[in-house]
Chains A and B, each alone.
Chain A
Amino acid sequence: MAKQQETGSFDAMLYRQASEALDRRFPATRWLAPLRKHALERLAHSGFPTTRDEDWRYTNLKQVVLRSGEFLKRSTREKQSAARRVAKSELNRLLLPGLTDITLVFVDGVYQPELSSSPPPGSGMRIRTLATVDEQEREPLLETLGALAGIEGCQVTAFSTAFLTDGLVIDVEADAHVPAPVYAVFLSRTADISTHPRILMNLAANSSACLIEHHKSLHPCLSSSITEIRCADHARLKYFKLQQEHHSAFHLASQHISLADSAGMQAVHLDLGSALSRNGLNVKLNGDHAKARLHGLFLADASSHVDNHTRIDHQAPHTRSEETYRGVIADHGRGVFNGKIIVHRAAQKTNAQLTNANLLLSPGAEIDTKPELEIYADDVKCSHGSTVGRIDTNALFYLRTRGIPEQEARRFVIRAFGGEIVSRIPVPHLYRPVSDILAARLEHADSKPGPKQ
């Protein structure tokens, strides 16, 4: 048994049963079955990653794998639609404010049309769910789904795909500029289920759009999501992901974004919840002058584990990337950051900067950070670095001499550290509410400080 877990193998029978149940339970997406079957085979072949895989050295999926079978079983059971009937008033309390124009709500993995609103016709944006796409779209979708993510390479992607039941397909027409953010909400209200959120987005040439992903669960559960976004020439993408899973939940997510000539993206990732989370952000700067600006803030407290892996591939000349991630680790929390920048041979005149700064709030807090640069071109400007520090006692003393109590002074400093990332959220009206969420969360994380430093 112990040996089995080490090899990352799972309860194949439960998985197979769950997979078969999907075909029956979700007839509208039965057309995805070949994709699912293929992914399940891949997974059966390779198993989940273990800490012996270089990419997973610090993140042990044992608990996730162990419980996943049972979660899958529960989520494919027929009778639990009642839990999905969520009142609008409850929903409003859970959602970010001011994003009602284009809202797509999934509850327990199931799309809720009556809680959602689509972009108006003529806006240049079209959104469908996998369950409602036209029949002639299915064939090409079977090809594109996973093309950027590549299930061959990653077992977690294979897992998510093996149980894919629904998702969003978002198309932005050429030259269309859609000011309202697309707000995709993935809410889990039932305990011990497994959901597999999926987004496929296409920005045609010279278009612009904003996507917000909000992952939230009220009970322990597993969520494994995949987002794939293609930006054609001169397209502009703004992206914000807020992860607020239950403190006992598991969250395994990845985003795969490709940018063509002169396309640009700005992304902010905020990891505030879950017992174990792993986010993989993969950006491919495929076209000349493509650029990406990535910001992230992750928080681990209690005994939670938060892992951010980012990878930027500079494939073309004159591409730029700028990445800043910050980690706040409290209690016995553990953070992992791995930021990889690969400058390929063709990517001359590339400019890449990566920094990761971490704040440890207690003696039991831990962080493993590793920025990596691989450069195969010779005319490039690259820099990377990471820092790990504790709260500056001089700053605390300064604030206290002005009459600010110690706890509050700590909060000031911690909030300022995280606030820098929040201020980058590409939707200005969200600064305030997200700052409040962050402040409350940080206050909670720092409310049980260890021995004074």
Chain B
Amino acid sequence: MKLDIRNLHVSVGGTEILKGLSLEVGTGEVHAIMGPNGSGKSTLAHILAGRSGYEVTSGTVTYNGENLLEMEPEQRAWAGIFLGFQYPIEIPGVNNSYFLKAALNAKRKYLQQPEIDAIQFLKLVKEKARLMKMDQSFLNRGVNEGFSGGEKKRNEIFQMSVLEPTLAVLDETDSGLDIDALKTVAEGVNRLRSDDRAFLLITHYQRLLDYIQPDFVHVLADGRIVRTGGRELALDLEAQGYDWVTTGT
């Protein structure tokens, strides 16, 4: 796994939001991205997942050597990219577990693997739901339909644990979680951590990083990475706010 973002410029409706962002993520690494509201963190996450409506005016994004920006969202998923949404979407009437099975099988089809059989799938999701401390009844509800904020976030990590991505971009998955849920979510991430996977954690709170220890911490401000450091950077940010890193850049 290798993600390479170089000098990325992205605009929405004529307004430049990412202004020359560069970032390299290698296999096995966990990167945390912090930064003020409106600095472009979710924009970056959306660009990586292939959301339309953004204009990439210059720069490149390669994923395992391929031009990521040319791939459709579903192709990116098949290639192992997962986006945990800051605001997961409710899709009434689309059954959670039916949807997840379709997602899993779409990827399997791409990998030329046979479809997962119903019993095996049920076993898999039940096990993952148990690990995420999610009630079984959530499996048969509409995707995020009527879920509480925290339940939606938990559902994102549950989906991630079933789909087993190689690069997971988690956009503020920790926001709005109570302390137990935060631990469960962190455990979910830690369970998946391995040498052939990588994580991009977007967060406002260093608290998350107590549970998921990152290899790098970046500060994204005004559309650029303005600072990169280790875990200790997050502690400094927590204590001092963003001003000391953003001024003078």
A residues sitting closer than 8 Å to B (CB atoms) are 392-395, 397-406, 408-409, 412-413, 415-417, 419-420
Given contacts A413-B94, A419-B93, contact A399 B99 (CB under 8 A): yes
Given contacts A405-B106, A408-B106, A412-B99, contact A400 B74 (CB under 8 A): yes
User: A-facing mask of B172-192, CB < 8 A → 1, else 0?
Assistant: 000000000000000000000
Bound together, the chains give a CA A205 to CA B83 distance in angstroms of: 59
With A397-B89, A398-B88 already in contact, 12 other A-B pairs whose C-beta atoms are closer than 8 Å: A400-B74, A400-B77, A401-B49, A402-B163, A403-B103, A403-B107, A404-B106, A405-B106, A406-B74, A412-B91, A415-B93, A416-B142
Of A395, A405, A417, A419, the residue contacting B74 (CB under 8 A) is A405
Chain A minimum-CB-distance residue to B76? A401
Question: Which residues of B are found within 8 Å of A406, using beta-carbon distances?
Answer: 72, 74
Within 8 A of A (CB), among B88-121: 88-89, 91-94, 99-100, 102-104, 106-107, 110
Q: Which 10 A-B pairs have the closest CB atoms?
A: A416-B93, A403-B77, A400-B73, A402-B103, A398-B89, A403-B106, A416-B94, A403-B103, A400-B74, A403-B107
Bound together, the chains give a CA A405 to CA B81 distance in angstroms of: 15
- CB B110 to nearest CB in A, in angstroms, measures 8
Question: Which residues of A are found within 8 Å of B143, using beta-carbon distances?
Answer: 398
**Pairwise interchain contact B142-A398, C-beta atoms closer than 8 A:** no
- CB A90 to nearest CB in B, in angstroms, measures 33
Bound together, the chains give a CA A382 to CA B134 distance in angstroms of: 39
- CB A421 to nearest CB in B, in angstroms, measures 10
Of the A-B pairs whose beta carbons lie under 8 Å apart in the complex, a sample of 13, sorted by A's number, is A398-B143, A399-B99, A400-B77, A401-B81, A401-B83, A403-B104, A403-B107, A404-B103, A406-B74, A413-B94, A416-B142, A417-B93, A420-B92
Tell me, yes or no, whether B78 is within 8 Å of chain A by CB: yes
Chain A minimum-CB-distance residue to B103? A402
**Pairwise interchain contact A401-B94, C-beta atoms closer than 8 A:** no
Chain A minimum-CB-distance residue to B88? A398
**Pairwise interchain contact B74-A404, C-beta atoms closer than 8 A:** yes
**Pairwise interchain contact A412-B94, C-beta atoms closer than 8 A:** yes
Question: Which residues of A are found within 8 Å of B52, using beta-carbon distances?
Answer: 393, 397
Tell me, yes or no, whether B51 is within 8 Å of chain A by CB: yes
- CB A361 to nearest CB in B, in angstroms, measures 16
- CB B21 to nearest CB in A, in angstroms, measures 20
**Pairwise interchain contact B50-A401, C-beta atoms closer than 8 A:** yes
Question: Which residues of B are found within 8 Å of A399, using beta-carbon distances?
Answer: 91, 94, 99, 103
Tell me, yes or no, whether B85 is within 8 Å of chain A by CB: yes
**Pairwise interchain contact B163-A403, C-beta atoms closer than 8 A:** yes
**Pairwise interchain contact B73-A397, C-beta atoms closer than 8 A:** yes
B residues sitting closer than 8 Å to A (CB atoms) are 49-52, 72-74, 76-78, 81-83, 85, 88-89, 91-94, 99-100, 102-104, 106-107, 110, 142-143, 159, 163
Chain B minimum-CB-distance residue to A400? B73
**Pairwise interchain contact A403-B78, C-beta atoms closer than 8 A:** yes
Given contacts A398-B88, A408-B106, A412-B102, contact A403 B74 (CB under 8 A): yes
Bound together, the chains give a CA A400 to CA B50 distance in angstroms of: 9
Question: Which residues of A are found within 8 Å of B73, using beta-carbon distances?
Answer: 397, 400-401
Question: Which residues of A are found within 8 Å of B163, using beta-carbon distances?
Answer: 402-403
**Pairwise interchain contact A398-B106, C-beta atoms closer than 8 A:** no
Bound together, the chains give a CA A404 to CA B99 distance in angstroms of: 9
Question: Which residues of A are found within 8 Å of B91, using beta-carbon distances?
Answer: 392, 395, 398-399, 412-413, 416
- CB A415 to nearest CB in B, in angstroms, measures 8
Bound together, the chains give a CA A244 to CA B48 distance in angstroms of: 45
Given contacts A403-B106, A403-B163, A404-B99, contact A397 B94 (CB under 8 A): no
Bound together, the chains give a CA A451 to CA B163 distance in angstroms of: 32
**Pairwise interchain contact A416-B72, C-beta atoms closer than 8 A:** no
Chain A minimum-CB-distance residue to B162? A402
- CB A310 to nearest CB in B, in angstroms, measures 23
Given contacts A404-B99, A404-B106, A405-B74, contact A420 B93 (CB under 8 A): yes
Question: Which residues of A are found within 8 Å of B50, using beta-carbon distances?
Answer: 400-401
Question: Which residues of B are found within 8 Å of A394, using beta-carbon distances?
Answer: 89
- CB B73 to nearest CB in A, in angstroms, measures 4
Given contacts A408-B106, A419-B93, contact A402 B77 (CB under 8 A): yes
Chain B minimum-CB-distance residue to A408? B102
Which of B85, B93, B99, B104 has most chain A Cβ within 10 Å? B93
Given contacts A403-B103, A413-B94, A416-B94, contact A395 B77 (CB under 8 A): no
**Pairwise interchain contact B93-A402, C-beta atoms closer than 8 A:** no
Question: Which residues of A are found within 8 Å of B107, using beta-carbon distances?
Answer: 403
Question: Which residues of A are found within 8 Å of B99, using beta-carbon distances?
Answer: 399, 402, 404, 412
Bound together, the chains give a CA A393 to CA B73 distance in angstroms of: 13
Bound together, the chains give a CA A417 to CA B93 distance in angstroms of: 7
Chain B minimum-CB-distance residue to A416? B93
Bound together, the chains give a CA A405 to CA B72 distance in angstroms of: 9
Bound together, the chains give a CA A412 to CA B92 distance in angstroms of: 10
Bound together, the chains give a CA A403 to CA B106 distance in angstroms of: 6
Which of B72, B77, B83, B110 has most chain A Cβ within 10 Å? B77
Chain A minimum-CB-distance residue to B104? A403
- CB B76 to nearest CB in A, in angstroms, measures 8
Question: Which residues of B are found within 8 Å of A393, using beta-carbon distances?
Answer: 52
Chain A minimum-CB-distance residue to B100? A402
Bound together, the chains give a CA A409 to CA B50 distance in angstroms of: 15
**Pairwise interchain contact B142-A401, C-beta atoms closer than 8 A:** no
- CB B140 to nearest CB in A, in angstroms, measures 13
Bound together, the chains give a CA A453 to CA B49 distance in angstroms of: 19
Chain B minimum-CB-distance residue to A409? B74
Question: Which residues of B are found within 8 Å of A395, using beta-carbon distances?
Answer: 89, 91
Which of A397, A398, A419 has most chain B Cβ within 10 Å? A398
Question: Which residues of A are found within 8 Å of B106, using beta-carbon distances?
Answer: 403-405, 408
Question: Which residues of B are found within 8 Å of A400, using beta-carbon distances?
Answer: 50, 72-74, 77
Given contacts A398-B85, A398-B89, A413-B91, contact A404 B72 (CB under 8 A): no
Chain A minimum-CB-distance residue to B98? A412
Bound together, the chains give a CA A147 to CA B107 distance in angstroms of: 60
Bound together, the chains give a CA A42 to CA B76 distance in angstroms of: 66
Bound together, the chains give a CA A392 to CA B51 distance in angstroms of: 13
